[in-house]
Amino acid sequence: ADARAASTRDRAADGADPAVAAVTSRVVPVPASVGPGDGAFRIESGTAVELDADSPAGARDVADYAAGLLRPATGYVLPVVTVPAPRGLAGRGGTDRLAPAADAPAGIVLALGDPDAGLGDEGYQLRTSATSVLISARTPAGLFHGVQTLRQLLPAEVESRSAVAGTAWTVPSTTIRDVPRYAYRGAMLDVARHFFTVAQVERFIDELALYKINTLHLHLTDDQGWRIAVDSWPRLAAYGGSTQVGGGPGGYYTQDDYREIVRYAAAHFLDVVPEIDGPGHTNAALASYPALTCDGAAPPLYTGTAVGFSSLCVAGQSTYGFLDDVIREVAALSPGPYLHIGGDEAQSTSASDYVSYVDRAQQIVAAHGKTVIGWHQIVGAHPAPGTIVQYWGTAGDEQDVATAAQNGTRVIMSPANRAYLDMKYTASTTLGKAWAGYVEVKPSYDWDPATFVSGVPAAAVYGVEAPLWTETLSTSADLDYMAFPRLPGIAELGWSPADTHDWDAYRVRLAAQAPRWAALGIGYYRSPQVDWP
């Protein structure tokens, strides 16, 4: 019954263990290891969410979050209660004491501690008994991920925002020990081609958190719009943010708006990675400040969908002052470690200007205390120690990326023919693009980040990211339709151990998510590759 004795795949493969199947047939990403529990737990009207009285604020926040998730559908009070330390939870984090003390209220118990010293920054254990479900972790992030698993172990109606009568809120009997495969598990939202409001971004964050994604990459600037207020260059947002693809009004985030996105993301244990793309994809900036162009003439704002036509004047007098100001202000708004410098499709920049821009941008980002991420073309410059590149090719044979990775550059995997959420599913998908081919659900899941690019050592792969470009997408319903059902598959590639990878098993638990999406109001593509309920 030791969860560590066998991997999820071993247990699922023997097929004989219904306790394990109760988890592996429902939870995405599938947990690293699953075993039987000490009893099924049922949330009742008197259930409390418990934590140690001396728990830090981060753990209390997760307890409040968990109670807030479960209250609407259950209609229960679900008070968050603290247990005095002497009777407290420290011992419950251990592997031997599973159940709360006999006099403790039955409950959902959140315990900070590292029962086996292996849960790391994001791992957790979840153990059920007839009287409790105990989630233990070394960090609040781990507790939060454990709560997402608990959520998926409950009936899908738990996602309803109004009380649901007649449902037994039962968690199957299980013991789970779960740690992520990769530290970086991202999704990108392009808010430049179409602008998305703070509320729309927060809805997207909710969806990412459910699948244990820990990074939101925001593509903040492009030819069609500049979406973040920069106090030292105010026309970037005020003018450069005033339209979007198709000519709509566009928009931008004030610095307070952006802080709110960062706060909301942090409350869901996601970091925000801001991207300031350059030297290409910069028409909105050039239109706002003619001093950034080589001929001193501002181009008009752009509302089409072509790429590769714009470039900052790399040798121009204003360019690096502009870049330093922008990076300084954006870095100051960003508690996370990363800042993305773009670097893709610079087809209107000479090769030598490109190298000088990327090298200088890396220095500026470092001077403002952040680690650089850039699209993988930046390997053509001189990746600084620590720089991370984001691979968005399709072939997997890019020798320059392999060489950089062998020399220490880390790689985030976003192969466009697998991980791009804006690719059409089939020829009849009305939204999206098809330059990397059609990407049905199976190919989007059925690849290995560790081996996709030949010559990139597995240890150089830092994680995965699913980019959502928005030339063709302008509403939350559009985003949902392209992200679901592919986003959960990329999330599973990022979280679950490689040896759990199995399309036939995955498609079963993916199908089990559909009622949850229905309750959450997420419209999705009903791929014929999945037997939807």
**CB-based contacts of 391-394 (< 8 A; 24+ apart in sequence):** 391/415, 391/452, 391/453, 391/456, 392/344, 392/416, 392/420, 392/467, 393/453, 394/436, 394/437
Closest to ligand TNX by CB, 277 vs 492, is: 277
Closest to ligand TNX by CB, 74 vs 349, is: 349
Site map for ligand TNX, 82-111, x if CB under 6 A?
------------------------------
As measured in angstroms, the least distance from the Cβ of 117 to ligand TNX is 40
List binders of ligand TNX among 375-434 (CB under 6 A). Answer: 375, 392, 420, 422, 433
* CA gap 183, 415 in Å, rounded: 18
Contact between 302 and ligand TNX per CB under 6 A: no
Number of amino acids touching ligand TNX (CB under 6 A): 10
List binders of ligand TNX among 346-375 (CB under 6 A). Answer: 375
Contact between 325 and ligand TNX per CB under 6 A: no
Count the neighbouring beta carbons within 10 Å of the beta carbon of residue 272: 22
Closest to ligand TNX by CB, 410 vs 501, is: 410
* CA gap 68, 72 in Å, rounded: 7
How many angstroms from the chain centroid is the CA of residue 138?
21
CA quadruple 60, 66, 69, 75: dihedral sign: negative
As measured in angstroms, the least distance from the Cβ of 343 to ligand TNX is 8
Active site residue 345: yes
As measured in angstroms, the least distance from the Cβ of 470 to ligand TNX is 8
Closest to ligand TNX by CB, 353 vs 471, is: 471
Contact between 511 and ligand TNX per CB under 6 A: no
* Dihedral-angle region of residue 282 (phi above 0 means left; psi in -120 to 50 means alpha; beta otherwise): alpha
* Dihedral-angle region of residue 269 (phi above 0 means left; psi in -120 to 50 means alpha; beta otherwise): left
Contact between 307 and ligand TNX per CB under 6 A: yes
**Residue 464 β-bridge partners:** 185, 413
Q: Which of 50, 260, 345, 492 is catalytic?
A: 345
* CA gap 133, 264 in Å, rounded: 27
Q: In this structure, what token pair is assigned to residue 516?
A: 């949850």
Residue whose structure tokens are 């720089």 = 387
Contact between 345 and ligand TNX per CB under 6 A: yes
Site map for ligand TNX, 430-469, x if CB under 6 A?
---x-----------------------------------x
Residues that bind ligand TNX (CB under 6 A): 307, 344-345, 375, 392, 420, 422, 433, 469, 471
Active site residues: 345
